[in-house]
Amino acid sequence: MRYLRRERRQGTPPRGRKLQSGLDSLVHCHSHIKTVSASEKRYIEIVQQHWETVYETKATDQVSWFRPHLETSLSLIERATGSNRAASIIDVGGGASTLVDDLLERGYRKLTVLDISHVALDLARKRQPDALAKAVSWLHADVTQPGLAIHAYDVWHDRAVFHFLTSPEDRLAYVRNVAGAVKPGGHVIVSTFGPKGPTKCSGLDVMRYDAAGLHEEFGPRFRLVESSREIHATPFGTTQQFLYCYCTLG
Ligand SMILES: C[S@@+](CC[C@H](N)C(=O)[O-])C[C@H]1O[C@@H](n2cnc3c(N)ncnc32)[C@H](O)[C@@H]1O
């Protein structure tokens, strides 16, 4: 993952390495850290392709999860960071959402947006003025794979990504990544579909959680500070129930 981040920040590949794109770079990056089996590679490829197609074929504001602003996320992030605009924040599965725009506007500069879709990252990056786009780390990666920097983030934010992890192994890998990447005492904000939320999103099966169920996935190292439910109005005039959990990491 570090290789990808450097490549995107500087716009040129490291010396002696060929610039790769899409899945090749994703797997190439991971292959430094662990062996990726053929079936795992194929699985990552299918997930990535799914999301690339979504972002290639649908307008950013015409997907069910779109909101002009992620108000609840913003308010929890501001609460977690107080007046510290130097806080390091990662938005996992940030996609093309406006959260990064709103955080930049509020003066945060240590931002990382991670997503499995190159297209989504490019959409979000191109919306920003050049100088601000360069200040953000755009990380093309699968959040269930290892490779995130250790104790790098004050705040971990995820809206509508964890609920796509339908296999216990993927959820365990995700939780291991949060526990490693967030600083001790750091903040973890995860939003999924609530108990009355949809059973599918973007054509994929999803999990639904209440606060106790979501907290159980993360375990006792994560201290639940607050949970809330939100009724999200989709661009199509329907509603979806979301759950927000805000934890600190022990
Ligand atoms: C429903 S969208 C939510 C986007 C954004 N967080 C928001 O609230 O608007 C899910 C996002 O997660 C990304 N995603 C799905 N699986 C992922 C994975 N395993 N690793 C990283 N990103 C993933 C998708 O590309 C997509 O951008």
Say what the pLDDT of residue 9 is.
Answer: 32
Half-sphere exposure of 174 (CA within 13 A, CB side): 25
43 lines ligand 1 (CB under 6 A): no
65 lines ligand 1 (CB under 6 A): yes
Phi, psi of 199 (to 5 degrees): -95, -10
209 lines ligand 1 (CB under 6 A): no
Q: What is the CATH number of domain 60-249?
A: 3.40.50.150
Q: Which of 27, 62, 116 to mutate to test the pocket of ligand 1 (most atoms within 8 A of CB)?
A: 116
CB atoms inside a 10 Å sphere around CB 19? 11
Span from the CA of 162 to the centroid of ligand 1 (angstroms): 8
Residue 177 pLDDT exceeds 60: yes
- Mean pLDDT score across all residues of the chain: 88
Kindly give the number of the ligand 1 atom that is closest to the alpha carbon of 73: 8
> Any idea which residue has 């979501």 for tokens?
214
Q: Summarize the confidence of residues 8-28 as an average pLDDT.
A: 32
Three-state secondary structure of 93-153? CCCCCCHHHHHHHCCCCEEEEEECCHHHHHHHHHCCCHHHHHHCEEEECCCCCCCCCCCCE
Kindly give the number of the ligand 1 atom that is closest to the alpha carbon of 97: 9
Would you place residue 11 in the very low, low, confident or very high pLDDT band (cuts 50, 70, 90)?
A: very low
159 lines ligand 1 (CB under 6 A): yes
Kindly give the number of the ligand 1 atom that is closest to the alpha carbon of 201: 1
Say what the pLDDT of residue 42 is.
Answer: 87
Span from the CA of 95 to the centroid of ligand 1 (angstroms): 5
Q: Summarize the confidence of residues 175-188 as an average pLDDT.
A: 98
Asked if 123 and 48 touch (Cβ cutoff 8 Å), the reply is: no
Which residue's CA lies nearest to atom 7 of ligand 1? 97
Q: Summarize the confidence of residues 120-141 as an average pLDDT.
A: 97
pTM of the full predicted structure?
Answer: 0.88
Say what the pLDDT of residue 37 is.
Answer: 83
Q: Give the CA angle between residues 63, 206, 111 to the nearest 5°.
A: 60
Coil vs helix vs strand at 248? strand
Which residue's CA lies nearest to atom 10 of ligand 1? 161
Phi, psi of 227 (to 5 degrees): -135, 155
> Any idea which residue has 């725009």 for tokens?
101
